[in-house]
Amino acid sequence: MSTSSDTTEIPKGNLDGFKTHAKHDILSGFLVFLIALPLCLGISLASGYPAVAGIFTAIIGGLVATFLSNSELTIKGPAAGLIVIALGCVKDFGYTGGVDPVKDYEAYRLALGVGVVAGVYQILLGLFRVGILVKLFPKAAIHGLLASIGIIIVAKQFPILMGLSPEGPPLELIAGIPSFIINMNPKVGLIGILGLAIVIGYGFIKNPKLKVIPAPMLMLLITVPMGIFLGIGVEGSYAFNSQFYELGERFLVNVPGSLLNAVAYPDFSGVTTETGIKYIALFAIIGSLEGILSAKAIDEIDPWGRKTNLNRDLFATGLANTLSAFIGGLPMISEIVRSKANIDNGARTRFANFYHGMFLLICVALIPGLINKIPLAALAALLVVTGYRLASPHEFMTMYREGVDQFTVFVSTILGVLATDLLKGLAIGIGVRIVIHFIRGGSIFRLNAKIIPERDQSVTIFLRGSIIFSSWIPLRKHLNRFYQEGKRVTLNITETKFIDRRVLSQIEDWEKKYKENGLELTVLAKTTSIDE
């Protein structure tokens, strides 16, 4: 566990921390590596990239971002939340899904060019300290976006789990699940179902001694020998129940024997096209949103209460993304599942992320042949569980409890994404949020505020009307100005019709910032002022 007897001493990610906490960080880095290896491979293949692309991403995230970001416990790497964007990008550039390898490679290189430019935009966001802006997107719209991505992942990966490869819209694929089960390739489907059972059943194990090996690695330790025994990778066919089914290497992971042979360089000829511009925006916006949300979530459970400089972290992620795309890698973020595992495994400093990257580099460099024995159905099972978690019934219930407005935006975003695409779906969710705000009698960027100077370096800010995510921009200017002037501030929101939870969260962050610097920010509120 992450708690220990030295919680009073805050570990630091400097040279002294590197030496002092090496034992904890190396162990955690190794355990996270065991989780990351199958996830990196699975996310790459689900994204339409070569399997090794996700490994490149995690290696760069560990070896580069570690030294640029001050986020002590996050793990950088490819994320399931970006699968749909990456796959959409290569498809729009002509990806054929293996039918034409030449076209697939061209689409991959064009997507890498988009990844480089998106990384540069993230660098600029960090340098100009505008990382705060990506936090202003409505919470419900972001959760709706992630839930829709989860639905799409399940829809796309379940057929692969069954040894099939149908194409179609997500809702059509979801509706086809019963037929996929009936028509599955028995040997491949057995591997997929076994992998699914292992990952799901792992959560019901209560004895910590039985959970020393992480679920993804345990699944590989069982399904790889099973795949070899069943001859999944042997070219040919077999009969079952009077029907013939194909087997072969296409049902296994394929990584080159040398990392240098796997390096691919970006093609920038597509970045100025409509497709290129669209996916640059998606990678930069969605990747930044996910990364910042993950970093903040991990900060909340950091046993030592350390805080990430989000602009610095965004700069680090952007630079690492740029380098990753230059050698053939996927986009990366601070990945929350691996980061949570990092804490649970006892990591102390950011060097756990570094060690996780080193272990991946050593593994892929030394034993690529073993990786090529991994059944794709097993990785698909891992991704189906990941997608389900993003769009679980619990997520729907949580948003429903947030109130009718939030739930409406949440569902609107999901339906918008499934009916159109990610960018349009997010825009639909934000649009619905703005319409609800107008119905409530609010405005977009105008802040209905009255500022009253008091004695003794004090000031009161009276807010009225409806305060939503876009209202935070002018409000933040006032809070920052008075913070710089060293004034005590009273923020009176008792006369607001409602205040968005996203804004309320930002205000709470500023309360902590004031307090940490010996200043005072007092909020006068009534419970009904919170947006329901």
Domain assignment present for residue 508? The answer is yes
pLDDT at 270 over 60: yes
pLDDT at 7 over 60: no
Tell me what percent of the residues of the chain surpass a pLDDT of 90.
62
Mean of pLDDT values over 259-273: 94
CATH code of the domain containing 464? 3.30.750.24
Domain assignment present for residue 378? The answer is no
Domain assignment present for residue 368? The answer is no
Mean of pLDDT values over 515-523: 89
Last residue of one domain, picked from the residues 330, 357, 384: 357
Last residue of one domain, picked from the residues 400, 416, 439: 439
Q: Are 432 and 321 part of one and the same domain? A: no
Domain assignment present for residue 239? The answer is no
pLDDT at 390 over 60: yes
- pLDDT tens digits along 279-310: 999 999 899 988 888 898 898 899 998 989 98
Q: Read out DSSP for 385-443?
A: HHHHHHT-HHHHHHHHHT-HHHHHHHHHHHHHHHHS-HHHHHHHHHHHHHHHHHHTT--
Mean of pLDDT values over 176-204: 95
Tell me what percent of the residues of the chain surpass a pLDDT of 70.
94
Q: How confident is the model at residue 227 (pLDDT cuts 50, 70, 90)?
A: very high
Q: Are 140 and 289 part of one and the same domain? A: yes
Q: Are 399 and 493 part of one and the same domain? A: no
Mean of pLDDT values over 79-108: 94
Q: Are 404 and 283 part of one and the same domain? A: no
Q: Are 482 and 420 part of one and the same domain? A: no
Q: pTM for this one? A: 0.84
Domain assignment present for residue 234? The answer is no
Q: Are 335 and 255 part of one and the same domain? A: yes
**Calculated CA dihedral for residues 289, 292, 293, 296, nearest 10 degrees:** -170
Q: Are 60 and 145 part of one and the same domain? A: yes
Sign of CA dihedral 32, 34, 39, 44: positive
Strand partners, 121: none
Which residues, 6+ apart, have CB-to-CB distance to 144 below 8 Å? 399, 409, 410, 411, 412, 413, 414, 417, 425, 429
Cα 219–Cα 222–Cα 227 angle in degrees, nearest 5:
110
Counted domains in the chain: 3
Position 443 scores a pLDDT of: 59
Q: How confident is the model at residue 528 (pLDDT cuts 50, 70, 90)?
A: very low
Position 292 scores a pLDDT of: 87
Q: Are 479 and 351 part of one and the same domain? A: no
Domain assignment present for residue 321? The answer is yes
What H or E segment, with its residue span, contains residue 237? strand 236-240
Position 135 scores a pLDDT of: 60
- pLDDT tens digits along 27-83: 999 999 999 999 999 999 999 999 999 999 999 999 999 999 999 999 999 999 899
Position 260 scores a pLDDT of: 85
pLDDT at 252 over 50: yes
Position 5 scores a pLDDT of: 40
Position 50 scores a pLDDT of: 95
Q: How confident is the model at residue 117 (pLDDT cuts 50, 70, 90)?
A: very high
Domain assignment present for residue 500? The answer is yes
Mean of pLDDT values over 196-218: 90
Q: How confident is the model at residue 250 (pLDDT cuts 50, 70, 90)?
A: very high
Position 137 scores a pLDDT of: 75
Q: How confident is the model at residue 465 (pLDDT cuts 50, 70, 90)?
A: confident
Give 267's DSSP letter.
Answer: -
Give the domain range for residue 508.
449-529
Mean pLDDT over the full length of the chain: 89
- pLDDT tens digits along 402-436: 888 889 999 999 999 998 888 889 899 989 988 88
Mean of pLDDT values over 462-479: 81
Q: Are 336 and 474 part of one and the same domain? A: no
pLDDT at 17 over 50: yes
Domain assignment present for residue 377? The answer is no
Cα 484 to its chain centre, rounded Å, is 34
Please name which of 398, 403, 400 lies closest in space to residue 528, comparing C-alpha atoms: 403
What H or E segment, with its residue span, contains residue 488? strand 488-499
Q: Are 432 and 464 part of one and the same domain? A: no
Position 283 scores a pLDDT of: 94
Mean of pLDDT values over 221-230: 96
> Of 36-50, 425-439, 441-455, 477-491, where does the model show the most confidence?
36-50
Position 501 scores a pLDDT of: 73
Q: Are 515 and 396 part of one and the same domain? A: no
Position 444 scores a pLDDT of: 61
Last residue of one domain, picked from the residues 439, 473, 502: 439
Q: Are 195 and 102 part of one and the same domain? A: yes
Token readout for 471 is 């209202």
Q: How confident is the model at residue 1 (pLDDT cuts 50, 70, 90)?
A: very low
